[in-house]
Amino acid sequence: MLPDELRIWLNHFEYHAEHPRGIPPTLADVLRPEERRLIASSIATFQLGEQSQGGTLLRAAERFARRHEIPALGRIVQLFIGEEQRHAALLRCFMEDHGIAPKSRDWTDHIFRRLRRLAGFELYLCVLISAELVGNVYYRALESATGCQRLKVLCRTLVADELVHVGFESQLLLDLRAGRAPAVRTLMRWAHRAFFAGTATVVWLTHPAVLRHCGYNARSFLRLCLAQYAFYLEPATATLAPTSVP
């Protein structure tokens, strides 16, 4: 990534750290009991996923930044972690106001955290972007599953930030892959795509109520997730996302 491009990302994250997105307090905030039952466990799992001190990521990013002489990267990742913590706080605040209990453990969250600790910055990014791409599809589904205005705007706010995250991470990953031998690049692409498909499948299996409620079946959900993956990580082969979005 060129220094000018890094500066643009840094400016973005600095601006949003100084002007964090908030949810207007005047929005209607009515969550019907049946909606609450539908989303409670699911939203708590995603809230847990957003919540991280980010120590492992920051250390990996700083090591990577030193090795590749890109000092801005450490600061960007620091600001990025702050943004994720704000997502967790916004979700938690909504949950508290609606009597939804937070989770302290979830097996899917546990596996993701273990995987991210296993290796260096690049593998961390692969795991992270997989979760975020599927998360964006999920938040859009959650938005359409509820009539609560506050939750709708909250979902849109999270997606707005996450789109920037995946934009930044995909640019970094594609740059890193471009420097590799073609065979290694192909192998990495296959492995990442398989991991991503596995992630989307796990999210489908563990959040079926919310996803079915807004019209997805396993096939349409997986297809939309893979279209997002292709758009960001296989740009040369990407096609338009399917139009059959529920």
Q: How far is 155 from 136, CA to CA, in rounded Å? A: 9
Of 50, 109, 143, 169, the one binding Fe ion by CB under 5 A = 50
Check residue 84 for interaction with Fe ion (CB under 5 A): yes
Q: Distance of CA 157 to CAs 55, 117, 136, 138, 238, Å?
A: 25, 28, 11, 13, 26
Cβ-based nearer residue to Fe ion, 35 or 132: 132
Of the candidate spans 37-45, 124-132, 178-186, 213-221, the one that interacts with Fe ion by CB under 5 A turns out to be 124-132
CB of 35 to Fe ion, least distance (A): 22
CB of 186 to Fe ion, least distance (A): 27
Residue nearer to Fe ion on the CB measure, 111 or 160: 160
Q: Is 62 helix (H, G, I), strand (E, B) or coil?
A: helix
| 169 lies in the binding site for Fe ion (CB under 5 A) | no
Which residue's entry shows tokens 């509820």?
146
Residue selected from 48, 121, 126, 132 as contacting Fe ion according to rule CB under 5 A: 132
**Interior CA angle at 18 toward 67 and 68, to 5°?**
5
Q: How far apart are CA 177 and CA 122, in angstroms?
A: 10
Token pair belonging to 76: 């960007």
Nearer to Fe ion among residue 84 and residue 109 (C-beta)? 84
Judged by CB under 5 A, the stretch of 1-9, 57-65, 86-94, 172-180 that binds Fe ion is 86-94
Distance in angstroms (rounded) separating the CA atoms of residues 24 and 74: 32
Binding site for Fe ion (CB under 5 A): 50, 84, 87, 132, 162, 165
